[in-house]
Amino acid sequence: MSDVALHPTPGLRAAAAAQLKAVGLAVRREVLVAAILFGGILLFTVLYALGKGESMGLGHIGGPGVLVGLAAFLFPVAVWKDEERFGLSTLWTLPVDHTRHALLKVAAGWVWVMGLTIALMLSLILGVLITGGSLGVETTRLVLDVSAPSGMRTVEWSTPWWQWLVPFCAASTTYLLGSALVLAADHPWRWILGAILVFWLLGFMGDEGEVEWMYWAFEHLLFQVGFGQYGLEPLLTSGTESIQHRFHLPSGESVVGWRELPSIGRWAGAVGLWSAIGLAGLFAATWRHRER
């Protein structure tokens, strides 16, 4: 009897290439629909700007960061939609370690997410250039200054280099979170809708039921998760939205300024925190499939 296996275990490179191709085939319809919708909206925006003699701008990365972050969170649903992740499935009969197989598929999906994010950013940049807009912002900002008599100071501010990394880090992190959820739950949509329902019920019970401690706890939790020091908003926008504040000057005039300047430390902390949560959830979810 020969000792040579008829079907040797594929190498890492071959398995990764196969997963990259498989993911591309799995998401092609969703990507096509999203590309048509986004392309149509962008084309309309460009034509409208040209018709009005206006220009597009891409100075704040908050918009793209939120868009790609949400899309990347939902992307794993498309990646795994044709796979039976639980129960009897050919998915777990391949001659590779099950945990490695799942991680390779997640990694292949991440490559597609990065490629699509690059395509989206290049499309936005092209639209800005066609309309004669500018990339980045150089402007004067009003920033809160408690030491100043009026409480305000002006700062010459321009878009820092690290803010151009925000969409890519946002997409990577939310993709990790979405992948962990999809691999851990047989019906991820039920968990998402259930979480929304629980949050709504907690808020309703705290507000209408006049349970003050519950209402305060709900508000505090929601704020910390969304807009806290290392919440989702700093992850998706680098904090440019939450630092905006309407100030009332001594003259009675109301102006919009910043409570502080955007901080790379706060953004990096948010990326690190949520990435760690996503990685921990992902490895925990894939570990359960090791003997399936």
Query: For residues 267 and 233, what is the distance between their CA atoms, to the nearest angstrom?
Result: 9
Query: For residues 123 and 43, what is the distance between their CA atoms, to the nearest angstrom?
Result: 10
> Looking at residue 250, what DSSP letter applies?
T
Complete edge-to-edge strand list for the sheet that includes strand 138-144? 152-158, 138-144, 254-258, 244-248
**Higher-pLDDT residue of 128, 203:** 128
**Per-residue model confidence (pLDDT) at position 159:** 84
**Per-residue model confidence (pLDDT) at position 222:** 79
Q: What residues pair up with 256 in beta bridges, in sequence order?
A: 246
How is residue 196 written in tokens? 């929304």
Q: In which domain, by residue range, is 112 found? A: 12-287
Query: For residues 60 and 16, what is the distance between their CA atoms, to the nearest angstrom?
Result: 36
Considering the domain boundaries, does residue 183 fall inside one? yes
Query: For residues 236 and 169, what is the distance between their CA atoms, to the nearest angstrom?
Result: 8
Query: For residues 65 and 120, what is the distance between their CA atoms, to the nearest angstrom?
Result: 11
pLDDT reading at 167 higher than 60: yes
pLDDT reading at 289 higher than 70: no
Task: Name which of 132, 40, 116 is nearest 71 in CA terms.
Answer: 116
Contacts of 88 (CB under 8 A, 6+ apart): none
Task: Name which of 107, 79, 279 is nearest 177 in CA terms.
Answer: 279
Mean pLDDT of the chain: 82
Amino acid type, 222 = L
Considering the domain boundaries, does residue 4 fall inside one? no
Q: What distance lies between CA 32 and its chain's CA centroid?
A: 20
pLDDT reading at 281 higher than 60: yes
Q: What residues pair up with 152 in beta bridges, in sequence order?
A: 144
Render pLDDT for 214-231 as a digit per residue (tens, 0 to 9).
667 777 777 888 888 899
Considering the domain boundaries, does residue 126 fall inside one? yes
Considering the domain boundaries, does residue 7 fall inside one? no
Considering the domain boundaries, does residue 5 fall inside one? no
**Separation of first and last alpha carbons in the chain:** 30
What domain count does the chain have? 1
CB 151 within 8 A of CB 144: yes
Query: For residues 159 and 57, what is the distance between their CA atoms, to the nearest angstrom?
Result: 12
**Higher-pLDDT residue of 69, 2:** 69
Considering the domain boundaries, does residue 79 fall inside one? yes
Query: For residues 106 and 20, what is the distance between their CA atoms, to the nearest angstrom?
Result: 10
Considering the domain boundaries, does residue 6 fall inside one? no
Query: For residues 76 and 102, what is the distance between their CA atoms, to the nearest angstrom?
Result: 12
pTM of the model as a whole:
0.83
pLDDT reading at 90 higher than 60: no
Considering the domain boundaries, does residue 1 fall inside one? no
Place of tokens 């092209």: 126
Amino acid type, 138 = E
